[in-house]
Amino acid sequence: MARIKTEKNISRKDVIVTKAAILFREKGFKAASMRDLAEAVGVEAASLYNHIKSKTELLHELCFSVANRFLHKIDEVEAEPITAIEKVEKLLRFHINEMVNHYEEVYVSDREWKHLSDPYLSNFQNQRRIYRKRFAAIIENGIRHNEIKKIDAPTAVLIMLHAISGIESWHRSTQKISAEELEENMITILVGGLVNR
Amino acid sequence: MARIKTEKNISRKDVIVTKAAILFREKGFKAASMRDLAEAVGVEAASLYNHIKSKTELLHELCFSVANRFLHKIDEVEAEPITAIEKVEKLLRFHINEMVNHYEEVYVSDREWKHLSDPYLSNFQNQRRIYRKRFAAIIENGIRHNEIKKIDAPTAVLIMLHAISGIESWHRSTQKISAEELEENMITILVGGLVNR
DNA sequence: TAAAACAACTAACGCGTGTTAGCAACACTT
DNA sequence: AAGTGTTGCTAACACGCGTTAGTTGTTTTA
């Protein structure tokens, strides 16, 4: 009867949540079964329920832990006395790093939140909407100060956030450039565009 | 015993495939059941099998019809005697229009292809990989001719394609700018960047 | 070392799934 | 109007799912 191995400060629940992120990313939330997860953890499916309440709880945990990190970051960035472009760049770099270093979690939170159920679902959607509005507000500020082109701010936000989710492809690719190169390339393109002038 | 209504040149299978796209987009492939689909079509679940072979067949049809449209387009664009930037812009505009006008299909093809099974799966992945390489080759050409900044071409492709998939958010949003405005904004930002200079 | 708390197990439940078989009603052709 | 293929129906199948109950084994505490 082999127990789930834990290290210091890592609960068995944390182990399960982490493995769940990997599995949900790989197969999708619906397609990943609790029996799959149990196998990944090295235990029988029923045993998981000594540590978690339900499959959906795993999704809650993942989605909200990611969402909270982004909300804290935008709090921080908004308060800094820097230009709008610098704020945008800081947020982008944060997004890129989160996507590079916490790939599974961020990816799952991004693509599988639809399977949350109320009240978590509407809660999550709200947080997401608010985050985007605050991001757009920064861009609108930049437009007002002539730092940023006269564009539709919500559209800009949408482009930025989705472009970053493309790091998924980078992660999966075999011959990948370094994370640093990736970051610099993304910032160059998103902030400065393709055209050479 | 109400039949599936068909208009001229639209087979009953086409009706089913179209409804499937809407449903798969809404709930995800795995979460959408054949009974859901039957209800959307206005028929019992078993009746669907007079027109289709399996649930997965619906996904094949959607994924490959979308993939083929993009492959034909890149054939066309590659052959034109225009600059690299113009080629990129043409492809981007095509992507944007496809995403705006065939939202459900394109979205499903983009997000649910994982649930294809071999040999369709590897086939689809191949086509996708090849498409991206050809897109990247256009960008690399532009870099060689100094039209485009010295950036990592695969990263640029990844940004472009994923940015466009963000049109999903536009589609869902309530107060949306017009499709034309969206298109112009996206091209402006992706080709020219955010910064005003 | 005994008791208490924890974490694993086996067995099974009810349910929803994709799909098939067999039959009835419709639509079109001659 | 008869015949033929098409398209719908009902019933049911085998299976995998998330989850619970009850029990056994292991670790921690006193």
Nearest to A78 by CA among A60, A90, A61: A90
Q: Are residues B45 and B70 in the same domain?
A: no
User: Which nucleotides of strand C come closer than 7 angstroms to any CB of the protein?
Assistant: 6-12, 16-22, 25-27
Mean pLDDT for A35-41 is 96
Nearest CA in chain A to B165: A162
User: B136 and B169 in one domain?
Assistant: yes
Amino acid at B33: S
Tell me which residue of A151, A189, A139 sits closest to B188, measured CA to CA: A151
Tell me, what's the pLDDT at A113?
97
Count of the separate structural domains present in chain B: 2
Q: What is the pLDDT of residue B154?
A: 96
pLDDT of residue B102: 96
Residues of chain A above pLDDT 70, percent:
96
Q: Are residues A92 and A17 part of one domain? A: no
Contact A58, A20 (CB under 8 A): yes
For residue B11, the model assigns a pLDDT of 85
- The CA-atom distances, in angstroms, between B176 and each of A135, B95, B104, B170 are 17, 19, 18, 6
| Residue B32 C-beta-side C-alpha neighbours within 13 Å | 22
For residue B41, being part of any structural domain is answered with yes
Does at least one atom of strand C sit less than 7 Å from the CB of B8?
no
Instruction: Please give the nucleotide, over all strands, whose C1' is closest to the CA of residue B2.
Output: D8
| Domain at A138, CATH number | 1.10.357.10
Low-confidence ranges of chain B (pLDDT < 70): 1-8, 196-197
Question: Do both B89 and B37 map to the same domain?
Answer: no
- Closest protein residue to C21 (Cα–C1'): B46
Binary contact (A189, B27; C-beta < 8 A): no
Would you state the pLDDT for residue A111? 97
A197 is a domain residue: no
**pLDDT tier at A137 (50, 70, 90 boundaries)?**
very high
Tell me if B59 is assigned to some domain: no
Shortest alpha-carbon distance between residue B9 and chain A (Å):
35
For the domain that residue B19 is a member of, what is the CATH number?
A: 1.10.10
Q: What is the pLDDT of residues A59-90, one digit of tens each?
A: 999 999 999 999 999 999 999 999 999 999 99
At a CB cut-off of 8 Å and minimum separation 6, what does A185 contact? A177, B151, B152, B155, B156
A91 and A187, same domain (yes or no)? yes
Give the residue-averaged pLDDT of A105-114. 97
**pLDDT at position A8, please?**
64
Q: CA B36 – C1' D9 distance (Å)?
A: 17
- Answer yes or no: do B140 and B175 share one domain: yes
Q: What pLDDT shows up at residue B2?
A: 65
Residue of B nearest to A165 (CA): B162
pLDDT tens per residue across span B42-61: 999 999 999 999 999 999 99
What is the residue range of A121's domain? 59-192
Q: What residues of chain A lie within 8 A of the CB of B193, using their CB?
A: 149, 189-195
Question: Would you state the pLDDT for residue B195?
Answer: 77
Residues B69 and B105 occupy one common structural domain:
yes
Q: What is the pLDDT of residues A11-36, one digit of tens each?
A: 889 999 999 999 999 999 999 999 99
Residues of A in contact with B182 (CB under 8 A): 152, 155
Judged by CB atoms within 8 Å, which residues 84-113 of A form the interface with B? Answer: 85, 88, 111
Residue A125 pLDDT: 96
Do B41 and B107 sit in the same domain of this protein? no
Q: Are residues A43 and A106 in the same domain?
A: no
Chain A CB within 8 Å of residue B115 CB: yes
Residue A97's pLDDT is 97
Residue A102's pLDDT band, with cuts at 50, 70 and 90, is: very high
**Spatial distance from the CA of B62 to the C1' of D8 (Å):** 25
| DSSP symbol at A51 | T
Q: Which nucleotides of D are covered by protein (CB under 7 A)?
A: 6-12, 16-22, 25-27
B82 domain residue, yes or no? yes
Tell me which chain B residues have a C-beta less than 8 angstroms from the C-beta of A150.
196
